Amino acid sequence: MSNQQVTTAYFREAKKTGRKITMLTAYDYPMARMVDEAGIDAILVGDSLGNAVLGYDSTIPVTMDDMVHHIKAVTRGVKRAMVIGDMPFMSYHISREEALRNAGRILQEGGAQAVKLEGGREVADTIRAMVSCGIPVMGHLGLTPQSIHQMGGYKVQGKDEAQAKKLLEDARAIQEAGVFAIVLECVPVPLAKLLTETLEVCTIGIGAGPHCNGQVLVTHDLLGMFLGKSPKFAKRYANLHEEIARALKAYREEVQSGAFPGPEHGFDMPEEVLSKLY
């Protein structure tokens, strides 16, 4: 693993050579540091922080200030990985000027190296304007969580002919607009394969099968930090919820029993000093 900073050039080279891109989410300094030290290529500070750490039911309530706050924490913990900041709901829809201002905040205030935004042809001009200002943009097609109410739920996208053709057209449109990579979320495996084979830019899959040029997961899903069933596309590599719960319970029991803190957890003072205090 090279210690060289990951850039958009790294993505382009990976597409040419067939090297798989690894990407995970992080929302704070300690997790960002661990992900970076593990050699992950890119860290997405996703608006999924609304679900993962802020307790919202969706990504819709996440604001620009939320995003900048968490991106700043993540970039302080990263040396090698490319940090990509999500543009939250309505931060790039009202006007091109506002979209550019908000994207600029993610780089200038947050310290990220790129932004990610959802959508196809309808955001192509906005992407083009960002790229012309020197802002690297990652696209996001398929299941786009910011449009979840319009989609009617978390459903696989592109299963019928009309949806599949629209996905292909949208991918070409945002590629032409200048994205350096495209996240494909909950897209049928054969369609994701077709997109990967025909696009010049990297595809990053999440629930889109093994043929994409890279993969991304929500780190909290990977680590098993949530109760309940994980998404079908997420593989649980650990069960930290159980381990953390065990540690917290042990702490509570030791405090209540007097077992913690022990002598090894305290600090002494000279007896002659203590005697003068009585």
Active site residues: 185
Instruction: State the burial class of residue 127 (Cβ atoms within 10 Å of its Cβ: 0-12, 13-18, 19+).
Output: buried
Please enumerate in sequence order all residues whose Cβ is within 8 A of that of 45, keeping only pairs 6 or more positions apart, or say none.
25, 26, 27, 67, 70, 71, 74, 83, 84, 85, 86, 110, 112
Residues annotated within a binding site for Mg(2+)? 47, 86, 118
Please state the separation of Cα 250 from the chain's center in Å.
Answer: 32
Instruction: State the burial class of residue 112 (Cβ atoms within 10 Å of its Cβ: 0-12, 13-18, 19+).
Output: buried
Cis-peptide into 261, omega within 30 deg: yes
DSSP at 87 = P
Q: Minimal CA–CA distance to 52: which of 256, 264, 222, 252?
A: 222
- Could you identify the residue written with the tokens 């509570």? 252
Written as one letter, the residue type at 139 is: G
Largest Cα separation within the chain, whole Å, is: 87
